[in-house]
Amino acid sequence: MKKERSLGHKWMQYGALALIVQLAVACSDKTPTSPPAGHEAQVANQAQPAVPAADEPLVVAFGDSLYAGYNLDQDKGLAPVLEKALTAHGMKARVVNAGVSGDTTAAGLTRLAFTLDGLPRKPDLMLVGLGGNDMLRGLSPAETRTNLDAILAQLQKRGIPVLLTGMLASPNMGPDYAAAFNPIYPELAQKYKAGLYPFMLDGVIGDRTLQLPDGIHPNDKGVTVIVGKLAPVVAEALKP
């Protein structure tokens, strides 16, 4: 019972913070249907890895600020920390940061082909983590689903295995929104036979010692917690 109350309190914190972000976004311009000027250049600068060895798996982390390492030193973001964790577990892999802060699923869909075509070769695994900004902006879950479906369809067409990292709707969005948003990730993972890590912020949300001052994004300690949970799932997905 105590654990349930604690989890509920964390979700209330998340909901309040998400509402603040949502209101701030609502005061800005609406989400563009295509990336803003310079968007491709930002992606190109992030996703230009050295050519991995022939026997070295290539993993691409394609997502938003949770992947991009928002407000963290370059070596403290998800991709470099995950790469080190995989090496520590005896699996030497190259993990490419293809995260762009602020990306919605629509923006991700628009830049997907550009990102893939700029890689040295076809990835052995694609981590896809988008949808959080859709939720914070109050965009239609149907739109989020359609965009993620299109992303996964493109990756399937290219023969690229996928691990989908999910997001959950903030409580302040209401039960109807959550009922439409939360099933998106498990249902699409099942449809495309993709791997699924259900909630990207598991173990971090609600713990201020693991978060940046905004109360949502992980700090370097938070990234370490996320990777500690995510790395074994990635390693399993990379097994022949």
Q: What b/e sequence results for 210-221 when a residue is b if at least 16 CB atoms lie within 10 Å of its CB, and e otherwise?
A: bbeeebbbbbee
| Whether residue 39 lies in the annotated active site | no
- The whole-angstrom separation of Cα 240 and Cα 236 is 9
CATH match of 2-28+38-238 with 3.90.1660.10: no
Domain boundaries, the chain: 2-28+38-238
pLDDT at 78: 97
Q: Which of 64, 103, 134, 217 is catalytic?
A: 217
Q: What is the pLDDT of residue 62?
A: 98
Beta bridge partners of 165: 197
Nearest-10 Cα torsion for 151, 154, 155, 156: 120
User: Is 29 tagged catalytic?
Assistant: no
pLDDT of the residue at 89: 87
Listed residue (194, 195, 206) closest to 168, CA to CA: 206
Interatomic CA distance for residues 203 and 76, integer angstroms: 18
Specify the pLDDT at position 19: 39
- Give the pLDDT means over successive 10-residue stretches in the chain (240 positions): 44 45 36 42 49 80 97 94 95 96 98 96 97 97 98 98 97 96 98 98 94 93 97 94
Contact between 195 and 49 under an 8 Å Cβ cutoff? The reply is: no
Of 34, 89, 176, 214, the active-site residue reads: 214
- d(Cα 184, Cα 156) in Å, to the nearest integer? 17
Residue 51 has what pLDDT? 60
| 34 classed as catalytic | no
Which member of 65, 103, 134, 170 is catalytic? Answer: 65
